[in-house]
Chains A and B, each alone.
Chain A
Amino acid sequence: MIRWFAFFVLLAFPTWAEEVVLGLSQDEVAITTSFDGSEILIFGAVKREAPIPEGELGVIVTISGPPEPVTVRRKERRFGIWINADAVEIDGAPSYYAVATSAPMDEVLGIRDNLQHKVSIPSMLNSVGAPETVLDASTFVAALIRINTNAGTYQVLEDQVVVDQDTLFRTRIRLPAALTEGVYETRIFLTREGQVVSSYETAIDVRKVGLERWLFALSRENPFWYGIMSLAIAIIAGWGASAAFSLLRN
């Protein structure tokens, strides 16, 4: 009787059976002056101490930029011109989000686990701050997703995670050129039958370096001298061009 009970417990908590061992091609992205996006290779293995369980293994990789509150505005025609009318604030919209899966999303992840772990793009966005006059807040969230997807800052990469022999997995995720600084949270989920059996979290640090770092820091810490420097460069460039042209003429 007790043995049977233990067996059922193991079935109900299969989390202990499989675990992620992860590697990243880089855990830092340096933004230099010539930064033109970056490709991150995420690879890993599934560690098990028991035979391979039943069901298809699913692997999901997500990378999420620093979340920030945004306002989504909708234009409406008033007095013959199109102006911003309704606005909805969305609290935790990351500046970048990519989700890569080993099979179509609805096959690897059930709705319940998707909502719980906030994996797919719609489930990771919380819509809040909609005024009472706005009844269709969901269309604002949809618009946010649409605009970001078109801009390449939100990516859904279905079937892009390669799984070898139910053990090794790897995927490539491209970070766009227009990247903001911050900690990019990276998550790996292993799923069986649409349920998350194991997850792993790590972070990719995106930082400006060199000249970029220096200018950015100066503009925040010494804005007055940064402004003076900008003006000085402008005036010298203006004078230089004028002097060069008059030399050319003579």
Chain B
Amino acid sequence: MALLEVDDLSVTFARRGQRTVRAVDGVSFSVDAGEVVGLVGESGCGKSVTSMAIMGLLPRQPGTRIGGKAVFDGTDLLGLDDRARRDIRGRDVAMIFQDPLSSLNPVIPIGLQVTEVLARHRGMKGDAARKEAAGLLDRVGIPDPNRRLKEYPHQLSGGMRQRALIAMAVACRPRLLIADEPTTALDVTIQAQILELLKELVHDSGTALVMITHDLGVVAGMCDSINVLYAGRVVETARRRPLFREPRHPYTAGLLGSVPRLDSGRGEPLNPIPGSVRDVLSWSEGCAFAPRCSRRVDACLDETPPLVRTHDGRSYRCVDPVPLPGAIPAQAGPADQPGASSPDPNEEKTRD
């Protein structure tokens, strides 16, 4: 059984006088114990909102609606009351954020920011808590931890700050760690170190990790399985290797194709996906990616593309997926018969 099972999660923001925004639109994915799962997509695809909804961190405002389920170890996190949620947060499920400087309280020493988690969830106080905090800083690779405990966030470098945030997140040995673009604000060399640290921590402790990123390089180096998000929905799910080798959804293929390659010829143009995330259709009108898609056919605009699950555990949401290399092209054009034209006979479709 999966450690975290997110099922049909949706988040809408309604503001008076403005159009209701559906930031997350029926996202489903699962995370097994000890697994590293990527949520990948461009800015605005709903990946951060998804993680905030799971953590119960979305601002409680009248217009915010959260639907669906996020079952963690048998409990639906979305159905918990405030107190129960606070008990789980930081102890069983922890989170690391994007900008380490603004995510740390500027007027409180690092030490207290670590020990307050220990005090809250593990009842540790005084010297014991301080000792444990120093041990945690040491474990995340901060040299001279006893001195650092007394320092303030502005006295640390960017990489150190992110390490300190990680120390706070792993302080109670959570079973699930959600990292929301943890390396975006850092230098490239530091990025690699932080990723290495995360990899090591989850490997040693058996913690499951949800890695939220727009960076395919991060995904390639870390994740066991990957969910590609577009306009608030998962458009493709696969294990890492098949996804990189044979992307099925045109959006995934586009993302992979737009990564600049060092070995490409001089002067060769980059291959960005045309248009921008703003050019979306609502999923109820058809495929949200259709306006930017190079493989668009008429069927794309008829209805929401159903989720196609293949026998090898992959799934994608596309009526005319990128063919597998070596696959025999279907006799009938997929555009004509969107329901019955998959190149793979083992594929089954689910309506949702």
- A, B: real partners: no
Residues of B within 8 A of A (CB): none
Residues of A within 8 A of B (CB): none
